[in-house]
Amino acid sequence: MNRYDYDLLTIGAGSGGVRAARMAATTGARVAIAEDRRLGGTCVNVGCVPKKLLVYAAQFGEAFDDAGGFGWSVGARHIDWRQLIANKDREIERLNGIYGKLLDDSGVTLYRGSARLLDRHTVEIEEKTYTAEHILVATGGRPSRLDIPGAELAITSDEAFALEELPESVLIAGGGYIAVEFAGIFNSLGSAVALHYRGPMFLRGFDADIRSTLAEEMKKRGIDLRFECCPDAIKRGTTGLKVHDSTGSTTDVDQILMAVGRVPRTAGIGLEEVGIELNTKGAVVVDAYSRTCVPNIYAVGDCTDRMNLTPVAIGEAMALVDTLFHNRPTAMDYSNIPTAVFSQPNIGTVGLTEEQARQNHTISVYRSTFRPMKHTMSGREEKTMMKLIVDSENDRVLGVHMVGPDAGEIVQGMAIALKCGATKAQFDATVGIHPTAAEEFVTMRDPI
């Protein structure tokens, strides 16, 4: 007779929760998962997937612009935003279905409804209670808003994916991933875009050359970048919205998108009542094995606010399944996690920035800035920037950074090299693929 209804009950069916539930079930464990919204979490519904689909839509605008140099004549162009959003929604629905089928096929019981912890082994879902030996909290996060008058008139990324009309003008507040990605999307689709960031240069935490290169490229595309500037009040105007900012200016726009960070979704699910510690941002505090201070309760993904990326949540989930169901205590390895920002052009990065590397290493820096071959004929004045940070003492490559087309695709391969501890000599000994932009990473000979 089993003491509990389930071996594992997961709250939240996003990237981390679904992966943990499915992988645990394949070991023969009895697993349930609760979800009160659509399956797939932020990534599938209001994050990575719809964002990338909109980025593809945006890139067509650029391709039409560039086509003339290659002999094409492109006629009148028009973006049907409603069609784009409807097609995107259809694809998301298909993915929601796939997530349901994956859970079903692996024998995971899905409960639709909001879950709440009653005690350390009991969860209430829609007025029924279930017990579990292990409980996993994987509730993700939600966008935050600036605390300013009229903040409710702005949208966040959640609403941006479902707008009825493409705004003629949009002001984006923030300077992180979401701000620069949406700036690129709206700009390429034809909206007039302004981006307000509170500091001297956006994308804090990225390599300085990445930040300045992207800023230059965004300006070339006509995005109105305003640094040291932040909205401080929003009002309804006669037609759209009026934004007052910290520099004293007022701007009239159709939409204001707040992209000022995300907060963990941890309220109202009984976490603190059962003794789980939350930090000042409301994130679940966990150890290296994703365990909370209540020994049978774990948390992975954005609700822990460690590194808020889908593949990281999945990695944490896999490590947890190893720990709990394969008798192999495993901690997620956070070193050399690559990431891409789907701005126009893209950013791809892995390892240490120049600034970080200088703190503990003597380094050589290799940098190349060039016009991609395509633009010698398209006429576009866009530059690609690539950069390698190398430890001068042992020749190890510590960081790889790129701004340019397909940077995410290119840097994924570089990330394997860094994970293997590749040296600059090994980069140099690698034969390039010609003609590509990526070959530049194996042909940079002179440090700057």
Binding site residues, ligand NDP, CB under 6 A: 146, 174-179, 181, 197-199, 202, 204, 230, 259-262, 308-309, 339-342
Closest Cα to residue 432, out of 375, 374, 386, 364?
Answer: 386
Closest approach, Cβ 160 to ligand NDP, in A, equals 12
* Tokens found for residue 314: 């999945």
Closest approach, Cβ 122 to ligand NDP, in A, equals 32
Closest approach, Cβ 245 to ligand NDP, in A, equals 11
**Is 434 annotated in the active site?**
yes
Determine the distance from the C-alpha atom of residue 273 to the mean position of all C-alpha atoms in its chain, rounded to a whole number: 31
**What number of other Cβ atoms are within 10 A of residue 152's Cβ?**
8
Looking at beta carbons only, is 39 or 259 nearer to ligand NDP? Answer: 259
Amino acid at 316: E
Closest approach, Cβ 74 to ligand NDP, in A, equals 29
Share of the chain residues as helix, strand and coil, in percent rounded to the nearest 5? 35, 25, 40
Q: Any idea what the Cα angle at residue 47 is, between residues 13 and 211, rounded to 5°?
A: 135
Do residues 344 and 184 lie in contact, with contact meaning Cβ atoms separated by under 8 Å? yes
Residue from 78, 244, 361, 434 carrying the catalytic annotation: 434
Distances (CA, A) of 59 to 64, 65, 165, 188, 344: 9, 10, 19, 7, 8
Looking at beta carbons only, is 259 or 389 nearer to ligand NDP? Answer: 259
Closest approach, Cβ 110 to ligand NDP, in A, equals 26
Closest approach, Cβ 306 to ligand NDP, in A, equals 10
Task: List b or e across 171-194, with b for residues whose CB sees 16 or more CB atoms inside 10 angstroms.
Answer: bbbbbbbbbbbbbbbbbbbbbbbb
Looking at beta carbons only, is 107 or 282 nearer to ligand NDP? Answer: 282
Closest approach, Cβ 302 to ligand NDP, in A, equals 8
Looking at beta carbons only, is 125 or 404 nearer to ligand NDP? Answer: 404
Residue with the shortest CB distance to ligand NDP: 176
Closest Cα to residue 405, out of 438, 361, 439, 448?
Answer: 438
Do residues 130 and 214 lie in contact, with contact meaning Cβ atoms separated by under 8 Å? no
Looking at beta carbons only, is 178 or 314 nearer to ligand NDP? Answer: 178
Sign of CA dihedral 9, 13, 16, 18: positive
Residues 420, 425, 426, 432: what is their CA dihedral angle, to the nearest 10 degrees?
130
**What number of other Cβ atoms are within 10 A of residue 272's Cβ?**
13
Looking at beta carbons only, is 210 or 363 nearer to ligand NDP? Answer: 210
Looking at beta carbons only, is 182 or 366 nearer to ligand NDP? Answer: 182
Half-sphere exposure of 382 (CA within 13 A, CB side): 23
Question: Active-site positions?
Answer: 434
